[in-house]
Structure 1
Amino acid sequence: MDAPFDTPVVQDREEQQLAVVRATVAAADMPALYDRAFPLLFGALGAAGVAPAAAPMGVVHGAPGETFDLSVAVPVGSCAGAEAGSDASFASGEVTAETLPAGRAATLLVRGGYDRLGAAYEHLFSWVSAQGLTPAGLSFEQYLTEPEPGGDPALNETLIGTYLEG
C-alpha cells in the first residue's frame, strides 16, 4: 500500500531558465512526448556545450482539460545569448528557450511510481484550495531521481508544484 502524501509547502521560487520541447497533447500521449523530447533536449544542449543546471521537468501551462499544454524541460544556468523574443544558443529545431518566473508555489515531494502523480496533484490542489490560495495556471513536476530499467519505482522522487496568485 502506498504511503500517504506529506503536507504541501509554500515556497518562493527563483526564476528558472529552461530548454524545452513544447506541445499540446492528450494525457495518453505524454509518455511519447517525453520519449521524443529528452533526446532532442540533451542533444541540443550537448551540441551547444550547455550543461543541465538541475533535474529535468515537465511544465503544464494553463488548466489541464482533454489536452495539456506541456513543456518537457531541462533547467539551464542561463539562456546564453537569449533576448526577448529570440532563442537561446542551444535552440535547434523543436528545442526552444522558456522561463519559469520567480514566484510563490505550493510544492509536494512525491515518493513512488509515476502512477501516484495523479493522486498527488489532487492532494496538492485540494490543499491549496483549503488554504484559501489560488493556483496561477502554471504547474510543474521535477524528476529528482532517474528511473533505472528494472529499478524499483518506489524509489522515485518527483517534486510537483503549482504557482500561486498574489
Structure 2
Amino acid sequence: MPGEITDAPHEIIRMFPDYADTVLWFGDGPVEYSDTGLTAALVDDLQHWEQTFYESRTDDFEFVSRTAEASHAEEGVKLAGRVSAEVGPRFAIACDSVEGRDETVVLRAERPAENPAAEAAFTRLREELIAEGKRTAEIFAESGGVWTAYAPLSGETFTPNQRSGRSQDQG
C-alpha cells in the first residue's frame, strides 16, 4: 500500500547531529542536504539546530546544562515534524535528538507531502538503496562463499587475487 511504513530501515529517515555536516540519515549513511529536496528554510533550520548542538556542549561532550539539553531535544522534535510534513506519510522520521536517551521520537505525516520535491528525492534515495541491496545480494550469491568486497560507487567487485567488475567487463 503506498505510504505504508514497514520495518525496512530505508523507509525511516533518522535525524540526529553526528559530525557529518547533516543531521539527516537514510539507510546506512548521512544524506547531504542538496540531495533531499527540502526547502531552503528547513535546511537552514536543520543546520542551525546542528550548530547549536555543538555550541551547547562542553569539552567533555556533555551539555552545558539540562536546560540546553531539553531545549535541543524540543527543537529537534519540532524540526522532525517539519521534515515529516515535507516528505509526507511514505517516510517516518526518527528523531534521536539527544544521545544517551533510550527513547526515540518517531513521527509520520498524516497528510500528503507538503513538498513533492522532497518526497521524490527520498523516494529516489530509497529506490537506490533497494537496488544496491539487490546488487549486493547478487554479488554475495555469485561469490560462492569467497570473500568479496563491493564498491557501490564504482560498481566494481574485488576478491582476493582477482579483480572483477564493471571496469574489467568494459575492456
Fold shared, TM-score > 0.5 on shorter chain: no
**Into which bin does the TM-score normalised by the smaller protein fall?**
under 0.3
Q: Which has the higher contact order (CA 8 A, sep 6+)?
A: 1
**Normalised by the size of structure 1, how large is the TM-score?**
0.25
User: Going by fraction, where is strand more abundant, 1 or 2?
Assistant: 1
When Rg is computed on C-alpha atoms for both structures, the one with the higher figure is 2
**Greater helix share, structure number:** 2
